């Protein structure tokens, strides 16, 4: 990290997708909210929604439209069961996908869960200049994503490059 660069706090919303979790039992959402605050970012909002693609899409659409929100972390709904619908809910909202995030997340996951990493549909992208990261629902997966990818990429001091320093250029005409 460069000594010349300064930390730029972001406003980040956290959404847990689950049919069974409450705020009290949501360890993954709690971890993400705590980790981003500990890093110096601001928790813009934290919600739990059931595995329903239209409710998920409605919440995230509102956050994407909110000029005060810089990023969204979504945990849950990225598996293969019939109720797992986070990718189907979020992908239509994206202006651009970030394939490297899912690829890197799965590569790092192999050390923790072996070949089961291939079952992850974790992904990321950009919508209306808002970064969106969709993570599995396990706290371990959220910790891996935060500690090994997101903490650095959401820190303007990370070199050679990071997502934060791209923010001013995200609305440039194509």
> What contacts 100, CB < 8 A, 6 or more positions away?
none
Q: Interior CA angle at 105 toward 104 and 111, to 5°?
A: 100
All residue ranges of the chain with pLDDT < 70 are 1-3
Q: Domain 11-168, what architecture?
A: 3-Layer(aba) Sandwich (3.40)
Enter the pTM of the model: 0.95
Which pLDDT does position 83 carry in this prediction? 86
Q: State the Cα–Cα distance between residues 72 and 40, nearest whole angstrom.
A: 16
Which pLDDT does position 1 carry in this prediction? 47
What are the φ and ψ backbone dihedral angles of 130, each rounded to 5 degrees? -110, 125
Which pLDDT does position 119 carry in this prediction? 85
Which pLDDT does position 2 carry in this prediction? 44
Residue 115: other Cβ atoms inside 10 A: 8
Which pLDDT does position 5 carry in this prediction? 84
Which pLDDT does position 56 carry in this prediction? 97
Task: Sketch the domain layout of the chain as residue ranges.
Answer: 11-168
């Amino acid at each position: 990290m460069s000594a010349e660069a300064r930390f730029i706090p972001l406003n980040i919303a956290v959404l847990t997708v689950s049919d069974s979790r409450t705020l009290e039992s949501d360890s993954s959402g709690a971890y993400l909210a705590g980790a981003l605050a500990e890093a110096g970012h601001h928790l813009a909002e934290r919600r739990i929604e059931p595995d329903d693609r239209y409710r998920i899409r409605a919440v995230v659409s509102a956050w994407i439209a909110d000029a005060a929100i810089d990023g969204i972390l979504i945990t849950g709904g990225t598996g293969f069961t019939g109720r797992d619908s986070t990718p189907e809910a979020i992908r239509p909202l994206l202006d651009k996908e970030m394939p490297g995030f899912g690829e890197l997340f799965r590569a790092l996951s192999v050390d923790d869960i072996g070949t089961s990493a291939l079952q992850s549909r974790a992904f990321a992208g950009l919508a209306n200049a808002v970064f969106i990261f969709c993570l599995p629902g396990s706290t371990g997966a959220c910790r891996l994503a935060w500690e090994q990818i997101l903490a650095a990429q959401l820190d303007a001091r990370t070199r050679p490059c990071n997502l934060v320093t791209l923010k001013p250029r995200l609305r440039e005409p194509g």
